[in-house]
């Protein structure tokens, strides 16, 4: 190998020295190549040493280590392309010179091909991009547990910021991203592989309570007769929605996805089915309906005949269910916040669990 500044003859016949050093080296096949380095001798010497290591690894059929991978990530793109062209960078490392934003774009494409909801993918990418921006990481090899822990501490803000549950979502997203980088051989090790999750039970921001039977009866009685349309739903539809959520434990989005053929009233027992693409765990689930809920569905379908593919809660908004429920609870004379906790739409799942427990059904069976 040699390191020197080349000279050439200018148009006026004078000898001109190139401002940058040129590195001349032999590759693993004993072929000679030239790569333009930097104006600095020390920087060019470091580049020469890294190229020499890559040649040695290729000659011995060795594996590229973390130090060499960091070099490939940070070296000029023209140098990287040259090394790839002459065979010093194998196909498993062709993405090593990408920026983190480029890696994230590739990961986003893969997430979209998986069986996830668009909302899940969007939130997962937001968690990762927020951490990348805070830590000012440019390439994958810069990701470290120490930097990420500092980010989580700032994000947490001494308990005044986000909840531990939100931090856990961030950790899961970052571990998934780093695991994907390692799987695709874009990094040698996952720096967050052993990053532990927080105990979210020590930081409960919203303690939800169950609704008593007499409260539920009071809510349903008021709602079906209040005469006001809320959140895109008429009174009878809202009453059916509350009744369904409290006796099946279905989430807001799962209720919103229901179509007529998902409810089978003539089977024994009558059932309601959540299709896999709308279930949180991406698995289809069929739940039995008790007689009261079956009768409410039957009365509703009698008043509102619909085709098999028609949405049961047509017009139901994507969000703001808390506001709709709060208005109905206020109209029914019920308190959302009590000494036992707060009641929002998700608390219907708590009510469902309580009803199962009172009837002697194990929670594991009900879930």
Domains of the chain (ranges; CATH) run 2-93 (no CATH), 100-202 (1.10.150.130), 213-366 (1.10.443.10)
pLDDT digits (tens, 9 = 90+) for 252-297: 999 999 999 999 999 999 999 999 888 888 889 999 999 999 999 9
Taking alpha carbons only, the member of 268, 273, 269 closest to residue 255 is 273
Q: DSSP string of 58-78? A: HHTT----HHHHHHHHHS-HH
Rounded to an integer, the average pLDDT of 191-213 is 84
Give SS3 for 254: helix
pLDDT of residue 358: 67
pLDDT of residue 366: 46
pLDDT of residue 367: 46
pLDDT digits (tens, 9 = 90+) for 78-123: 898 899 888 888 766 667 668 899 999 999 999 988 877 788 899 9
Taking alpha carbons only, the member of 19, 4, 33, 3 closest to residue 54 is 33
pLDDT level of residue 13 (50, 70, 90 thresholds): confident
pLDDT of residue 278: 87
pLDDT of residue 204: 64
Are 319 and 325 spatial neighbours (Cβ–Cβ below 8 Å)? no
Q: What is the C-alpha to C-alpha distance for residues 174 and 168, in angstroms, rounded to an integer?
A: 10
Residue 360 reports pLDDT greater than 60 = no
Are 231 and 324 spatial neighbours (Cβ–Cβ below 8 Å)? yes
The separation between CA 296 and the C-alpha centre of its own chain, rounded to angstroms, equals 38
Lowest-pLDDT choice from 104-108, 319-323, 342-346? 319-323
Mean confidence (pLDDT) of the chain: 88
Who's near 259: CB < 8 A, 6+ residues apart? 308, 309, 310, 311, 312
Q: What is the C-alpha to C-alpha distance for residues 46 and 68, in angstroms, rounded to an integer?
A: 12
CA 124, 125, 129, 130 torsion-angle sign: negative
Could you give phi then psi for residue 361, rounded to 5 degrees?
A: -90, 125
Who's near 71: CB < 8 A, 6+ residues apart? 50
Dihedral, CA of residue 339, residue 340, residue 344 and residue 345, to nearest 10: -160
pLDDT digits (tens, 9 = 90+) for 128-177: 999 999 999 988 888 999 999 999 999 888 656 788 889 999 999 999 99
pLDDT level of residue 205 (50, 70, 90 thresholds): low
pLDDT of residue 364: 43
pLDDT of residue 363: 42
């Amino acid at each position: 190998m040699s390191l020197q500044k080349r000279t050439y003859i200018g148009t006026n016949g004078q000898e001109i020295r190139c401002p940058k050093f040129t590195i001349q080296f032999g590759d693993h096949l004993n072929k000679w190549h030239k790569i333009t380095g930097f104006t600095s001798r020390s920087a060019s010497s470091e580049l020469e040493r890294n190229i020499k290591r890559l040649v040695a690894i290729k000659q011995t059929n060795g594996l590229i280590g973390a130090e060499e991978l960091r070099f490939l990530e940070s070296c000029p793109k023209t140098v990287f392309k040259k090394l790839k062209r002459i065979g010093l960078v194998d196909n498993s490392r062709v993405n090593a010179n990408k920026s983190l934003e480029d890696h994230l774009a590739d990961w986003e494409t893969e997430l979209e091909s998986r069986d996830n909801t668009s909302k899940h993918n969007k939130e997962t990418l937001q968690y990762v991009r927020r951490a990348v921006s805070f830590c000012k990481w440019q390439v994958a090899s810069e990701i470290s547990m120490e930097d990420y822990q500092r980010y989580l501490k700032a994000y947490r803000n001494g308990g005044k910021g986000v909840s531990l549950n939100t931090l856990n979502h961030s950790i899961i997203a970052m571990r998934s991203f780093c695991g994907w980088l390692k799987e695709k051989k874009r990094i040698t090790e996952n720096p967050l592989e052993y990053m532990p999750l927080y105990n979210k039970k020590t930081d409960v921001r919203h303690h939800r309570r169950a609704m008593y039977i007499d409260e539920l009866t009071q809510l349903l009685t008021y709602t079906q007769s209040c005469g006001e349309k809320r959140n895109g739903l008429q009174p009878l539809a809202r009453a059916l929605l509350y009744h369904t959520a409290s006796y099946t434990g279905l989430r807001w989005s799962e209720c919103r996805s229901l179509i007529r053929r998902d409810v089978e009233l003539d089977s024994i027992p009558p059932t309601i089915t959540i299709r896999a693409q709308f279930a949180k765990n991406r698995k289809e689930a069929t739940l039995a309906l008790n007689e009261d809920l079956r009768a409410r569905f039957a009365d509703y379908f009698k008043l509102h005949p619909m085709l098999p593919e028609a949405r049961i809660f047509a017009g139901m908004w994507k969000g703001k269910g808390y506001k709709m429920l709060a208005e109905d609870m206020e109209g029914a004379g019920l308190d959302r916040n009590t000494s036992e906790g707060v009641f929002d739409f998700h608390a219907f799942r708590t009510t469902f669990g309580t009803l199962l427990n009172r009837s002697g059904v194990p929670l594991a069976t009900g879930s």
